[in-house]
Amino acid sequence: MAHWLVVGASRGIGLEAARQLTARGERVTASVRDAKGLAALEAAAPRAATLQFDTRDEAAIRAAANQISDPIDRLIANAAAYGPKRQSSLDMDFDGALDLLSTNTLGPLRVVQAFLPLVRRGRAPRIVMMTSILGSMAIEGTFNVAYRVSKVGLNKIARCLAADLKKENVIVVAMSPGWVRTDMGGPDAPLDVADSVAGVIETTETLKLADTGRYLDYRGADIPW
């Protein structure tokens, strides 16, 4: 049994991860940011321990980390948003874009830095930065520029973390869950959330130190940077 920290578990992929992991007997601590999210999490994964913070709020994240003393074996930095309505290269909502970068790019790093002392004490510890194929420079398309940029930046952060933590045997990857039917992915997405999450869990469990710094999808296949 491993101890998993799932960040952003009020709905979508994070909620399903908390549900599947508790159902298979793993120890789960999961975070939400409000009472509505807490109610959803408690209904889907009643055995999960819960934390409450917004990933834009460093003090709140650190206060939550101080509530835990046991080692964390797997950290899934999953929370993210899609960003403002206007986010093309020709018409950008700059305040909305900055807010998105705080959530999607710096938020996961705030979480990792706050919980790192616990992760360092974990068994074969792994950190999954939940990214997107839209963070790949190799993928064409110009819609949702702020979201793309936020995930490009997150990918770079994952690479830097991987390099900095390799000597401590902490594995860090940037992982895409695929295009998934959630609030973010929308109803036309081809992947069911349960299948995506099963892949994320399986791939996380099979990671070796040699995999650190990879950009991969939920099935473990490489994505071009």
Ligand X SMILES: NC(=O)c1ccc[n+]([C@@H]2O[C@H](COP(=O)([O-])OP(=O)(O)OC[C@H]3O[C@@H](n4cnc5c(N)ncnc54)[C@H](OP(=O)(O)O)[C@@H]3O)[C@@H](O)[C@H]2O)c1
Q: What is the DSSP string of the chain?
A: --EEEEES-SSHHHHHHHHHHHHTT-EEEEEESSHHHHHHHHHH-TTSEEEE--TT-HHHHHHHHTT--S--SEEEE-------S-EETTEE-HHHHHHHHIIIIIHHHHHHHHHHHHHHTSSS-EEEEE--GGG-TT----S-HHHHHHHHHHHHHHHHHHHHHGGGT-EEEEEE--SBSSTTT-TT-SB-HHHHHHHHHHHHHH--GGGTT-EEETTS-B---
Residue 8 makes contact with ligand X by CB under 6 A: yes
What is the closest distance, in whole angstroms, from the C-beta atom of residue 167 to ligand X in the complex? 27
Note whether 83 binds ligand X by CB under 6 A. no
Give least dist CB 178 to ligand X, A. Answer: 7
Among 86, 166, 179, 192, binds ligand X (CB under 6 A): 179
Interaction of residue 182 with ligand X, rule CB under 6 A: yes
110 near ligand X, judged by CB under 6 A: no
34 vs 205, beta carbon nearer ligand X: 34
Give 162 or 193: the residue with its C-beta nearer to ligand X.
193
Q: Is 80 in the site for ligand X (CB under 6 A)?
A: yes
Q: Please, which residue, 34 or 168, has the CB nearer to ligand X?
A: 34
Which is closer to ligand X, CB of 182 or CB of 212?
A: 182
